[in-house]
Chains A and B, each alone.
Chain A
Amino acid sequence: MNCDEVKRSLQDYVTRELAPDDRRLFDAHLVECGECQRELALMTAVVSTLDHQAVLEPSAGFSHKVLASLPRQRQSLLLSPWWSLVLAPVLGGLAWLFRVPLEHGLAGLLGRSGIGNITLPALTMQNAGIAAAAVAGLGLLVAVGGAYYCWEHYLRD
């Protein structure tokens, strides 16, 4: 090894990342080169100082401040956004399976609640399918929103 090669391997030598064969060549060069001995001493001092940094302490009462700032109520499992990922496709599927009774029920509800003058289009499989697809689409939106919420609050950090 010459001086340039030693200087390039200096940090790996100090942090013991240099391969054993290269380490032997490094040592052999070191015996006869004062300049590289100086470089090694300097780098060893830098690495050793960095490795032994003191742990600083935050101000008194830090732990109590943290505990006092914790959100009092953790989000319950029932309200967890993870449910939306499961519920949305399930609801969408159910809406599709029961699309005909759904539209019947919707028509009856509108009639009973006094807004019966809204005339629904004739009940066809096509219309019922559109209604179910709209419900499924809404479910998909909830799923996307839930996924984004989970990413922001649980996974990103």
Chain B
Amino acid sequence: MLEPMESTSEEVLVGRSARGDEQAFGVLVERYKGMLYTMACRLMKDPGRAEDAAQESFIKAWSALPGFKGESKFSSWLYRICYNTCISELRKRKPEVELDEAMGVPVAGPVKEFRNRDMQATIQEEVSKLPDDYRAALTLYHFNGLSYEEIAKLTRKPMGTVKAHIHRARAALKTRLLERVGWDNLKEVMWQ
């Protein structure tokens, strides 16, 4: 049913969706469902709730589309809706923790065998332990490809704070990766 519109430009699809064309909106959902769901998973750390948040974000976007003036990219606008939905859910759930507190759990020692594919899983596991603000900034920068300025606007935080969160988060990840995997294992994977 959606095939004929798949190659239609985003601008046209957005315009049609704003006028109430559900088929056009369906194509936009298909295009962005992976990005929004992954973003929600990274922010919420719970696949079930992430799917609910992604669904809610699309429904909010549908309702708000007539007011979308195209001043920002459609994707940035959609990410903002998803970010606000996830953050408001997270705020209901638990108090914020500091970076040191979140990353300070001791590890058993470097693993015996480590392969290249384990790198992604290890980093993701450590990312999920980061405080909400750090995880959000890191996700928006590396996964969604937003600039510091766009993230600052979206999260309503000063650009310096956003940059500091991303820098501290990466530094914490580097330290944890070294603690968990050990330099000898990492060296083999990185330079193989």
Chain A residues proximal to chain B, CB less than 8 Å: 11, 38-39, 41-47, 49-59, 62-63, 65-67, 69-71, 74, 153-157
Q: Interface majority SS on B: helix, strand, loop or mixed?
A: helix
Rounded to whole angstroms, the CA-CA distance of A6 and B100 in the bound complex is: 23
Chain B interfacial positions (CB closer than 8 Å to A): 20, 22, 25-26, 29-30, 33-35, 37-38, 41-42, 47, 51, 54-55, 58-60, 62-64, 66-67, 80-81, 84-85, 119-120, 123-124, 127, 138, 142-143, 167, 170-171, 173-174, 177-178, 183, 186-187, 190-191
Q: Are B142 and A156 in contact (CB under 8 A)?
A: no
Interface of A is mostly: helix
Task: Check A55/B84 contact, CB under 8 A, given A46-B170, A67-B25, A74-B66.
Answer: no
**Bound-complex Cα distance A81 to B32 (A):** 29
Contact A46-B33, Cβ < 8 Å, known A38-B183, A56-B41, A67-B22: no
A156 & B123 in contact (Cβ 8 Å cutoff): no
Q: Cβ of A154 and Cβ of B119 under 8 Å apart?
A: no
Shortest B140–chain A CB gap in Å is 11
Q: Given A67-B26, A67-B29, list of 12 further CB < 8 A pairs? A: A43-B170, A43-B174, A46-B123, A46-B173, A50-B127, A56-B47, A63-B29, A65-B55, A70-B59, A153-B63, A157-B80, A157-B81
The list of the 10 closest CB pairs from A to B, nearest first, reads A50-B142, A154-B67, A58-B37, A55-B34, A56-B38, A49-B123, A157-B81, A66-B58, A63-B29, A42-B174
Contact B33 A69 (CB under 8 A): no
User: Please, which residues of chain A bring their CB within 8 A of the CB of B85?
Assistant: 157
